[in-house]
Structure 1
Amino acid sequence: MEKIYEVAIVGGGPGGIGTAVEAAVHGIENILLLDKADNHSSTIRRFYKKNKRVDRNWKGQVVEIEGNIPFMDGTKETTLDFFDQLLDEDKIDTAFNTEVENITKDENSNLFILQTTNKIFKAKCVVVTIGKMGKPNKPEYKIPPSLKNYINFNLDKCSKNEKILVVGGGNSAVEYACSLSEEENTVTLVYRKEKFTRLNPENEDILFKYNGQEKLRLRLNTDIESIENEDGRVKVSFTDGHFTIYDRAIYAIGGTAPVDFLKKAGIKMDEDGKPIYNEDNETNIPCMYVAGDVAFNTGGSIATALNHGFRITNSLLKKRGKTKSSIELFFKNNPTFKY
């Protein structure tokens, strides 16, 4: 039978690890931790220097640990080892090298559907803790600063009746192109390969339907050579020797800005582009939570992100009619566990 997770956590940083471990400590089963990187804590691995100090009270923030994870001062290496130990207890399923592209809620089953590049996961609750490091990829060639108002990496600032080039071959690029074509725009989708290989079936069907109905144009097996400013418009020169002038170009060539991801999932945002949530970190969508820097000004504090996981777990327990005091905690039952 298809596995249904009690909670699926999108993001393998401290907020995600904290939520997964606290959930396991308190007896919640069928926990899934997903991350697009090849391991957890990718920010620490990539951006912390060797032997860098990792302090619980980061940048003068005195943080009391609210939950059951005994996080202490250490180094990059000891912190990663500690998180390895937490995730090695075999109570948490992990799916690394797995980027979640979209989250929807099925009205019939009341389950969340997490669409990844090549697989679908289902869960009763979802926690989004992707951090601020997720940024759209940008092309290697130079984009003139004078065109910054006409070059997009999402659908912000787009209007109607524009001639638009969408660049990319993934699901986001296809969704951008189809959505823009519905807004009375003239849309071209350019992709450097001769065929699409990463689309989910639904997007692929819609794309070729729109192409056949001439709602948009496909320009495959073609790459971009350069971008220039042509009297305030975007002049795009292609590797096949041709050029075309557009009102706007939109890049969807990998990487997703956290705000775009949250909006796409249906999470309401405030005026500053922050997700709206209650005291339990729960968004406007029941059983969908946010944690970590994507929603809070934690300043990169690992301890604060771990506390978010504790609060979310308490909310999950309340929904199940349980309290933290009713369950014997993991660390008391595992005296050999060491930091």
Structure 2
Amino acid sequence: MSHMYNLAIIGAGPSGIATAVESYLLGVRDIIILEKDQNHNSTIRKYYKDNKRVDKDWKGQKVELEGKIYFVDGTKESTLDFFDEILNNHSVELRTHTEVQNIKKRDGYFEIFIAGESINAKYVVVTIGRMGKPNKPDYKIPQGVKDKVAFTLDNCGIGEKILVVGGGDSAIEYAIDLSAKNEVAICYRRETFRRANPTNQRDIANAIMHKEVEPILGVDINSLEDENGRVKVIFSEREADIYDRVIYAIGGTTPSAFLASSGIKEEDGKPSHDENYETNIEGLFVAGDITQESGGSIALGLNHGYAIAKHIQEKKL
């Protein structure tokens, strides 16, 4: 048998790091975090614009922190620095570029399968974020414009005509950020941006009032077409328009196939778990965005990590 870890955590976001650090502070050793991307907190790195505000009380939801990790309001950059610091100050192994394929329960331990090998652990916590699998439109994206359709701001240029699709915080922040150097429209199927936090609602209203962002509200997109390398957007109840780039910010989905392959049951689109975030498989836990209705709260993710760490420690690992 290969090396046996006491605790393996899949996903190096806030809840994954919190589970590892809180467990370490409670006396658990031999902990590994497995992250498929090149660094921790890939969702924050990919989907948060530079200097994005990061609030402890996400969308005004008051959360009292229960563990030893003290998180406060900040920016994208200060939040990443914060998690860098707590990882550096505790003996937790972080293995990046490691995508987990599935998990199997063996006799008294778990085998975690990755490309070309497997890792063994007594306890496993799955903290994969929803944005690891961003929602995509139902209609087909033409092959000729696939490089012009994206889910992040990567590769956006200057002086482009850009359509942002979505009505949440990320969509609004993308539109406002891009409008400084581009011609930007935002398309949302509802008439108002009621899903967004109050600050972003105010900011987008101001941008629309000053004609910095064109609103396309109460309108669906029926399809996309390739118009000589540009993206032709076919709207419902509105004339088609052509854009240099289309950015989708329409949320993410629970990685159901991965959960099912590992034997984790789902209920109402989320993995089922008890009050300690333990799934139907004893010793296998879930935490973070995939357990929440809409995801996004770092503070809640930290509390999940503490609750799991405390429960595992009480099992006298």
1:262 counterpart residue number:
259
Offset of residue 134 of structure 1: 2.5
2:70 counterpart residue number:
70
- 1-side partners of 2:140 and 2:257: how far apart? 24
Offset of residue 52 of structure 1: 1.1
- 1-side partners of 2:135 and 2:59: how far apart? 30
2:289 counterpart residue number:
293
- 2-side partners of 1:306 and 1:33: how far apart? 15
2:8 counterpart residue number:
8
Offset of residue 131 of structure 1: 1.1
1:89 counterpart residue number:
89
Cα 1:136/1:115, change in 2 over 3 Å: farther
Offset of residue 257 of structure 1: 5.8
Please show how residues 218-237 of structure 1 align to structure 2 within 5 Å. none
Please show how residues 108-127 of structure 1 align to structure 2 within 5 Å. 110-127=108-125
* TM superposition outliers: structure 1 runs of 4+ over 3 Å: 141-144
- 2-side partners of 1:296 and 1:76: how far apart? 21
AA paired with 1:2? S
Contact map agreement 2:130 2:295 (CA 8 A) in 1: no
Offset of residue 269 of structure 1: 1.6
- 1-side partners of 2:295 and 2:255: how far apart? 16
Offset of residue 309 of structure 1: 0.2
1:216 counterpart residue number:
none
2:206 counterpart residue number:
none
- 2-side partners of 1:265 and 1:136: how far apart? 21
* TM-score between the two structures when normalised by the length of structure 1: 0.57
Offset of residue 299 of structure 1: 3.3
- 2-side partners of 1:20 and 1:278: how far apart? 20
- Specify the SS of the correspondent of 1:266: coil
- Structure 1 residues 85-104: Cα deviation after superposition (integer angstroms, max 9, x where no partner): 11112510111010000100
- Specify the SS of the correspondent of 2:5: strand
AA paired with 2:125? V
- 1-side partners of 2:112 and 2:315: how far apart? 21
- Structure 1 residues 125-175: Cα deviation after superposition (integer angstroms, max 9, x where no partner): 00001010132899xx9469xxxxxxxxxxxxxxxxxxxxxxxxxxxxxxx
2:33 counterpart residue number:
33
- Specify the SS of the correspondent of 1:294: helix
- 1-side partners of 2:260 and 2:6: how far apart? 23
- 2-side partners of 1:301 and 1:89: how far apart? 24
Q: 1:312 aligns with which of 284, 304, 308?
A: 308
AA paired with 1:262? L
- Specify the SS of the correspondent of 2:71: coil
AA paired with 2:128? I
Please report the RMSD computed on the Cα atoms of aligned residues, expressed in angstroms: 2.4
Q: 2:126 aligns with which of 128, 134, 137?
A: 128
* TM-score between the two structures when normalised by the length of structure 2: 0.61
Cα 1:136/1:69, change in 2 over 3 Å: closer
- 1-side partners of 2:296 and 2:64: how far apart? 15
Contact map agreement 1:292 1:298 (CA 8 A) in 2: no
Alignment length (residue pairs): 207
2:106 counterpart residue number:
106
Contact map agreement 1:298 1:304 (CA 8 A) in 2: no
Q: Which has the greater radius of gyration?
A: 1
- 2-side partners of 1:34 and 1:275: how far apart? 20
Offset of residue 259 of structure 1: 1.2
2:176 counterpart residue number:
none
- 1-side partners of 2:111 and 2:279: how far apart? 17
AA paired with 2:112? L
- 1-side partners of 2:41 and 2:92: how far apart? 16
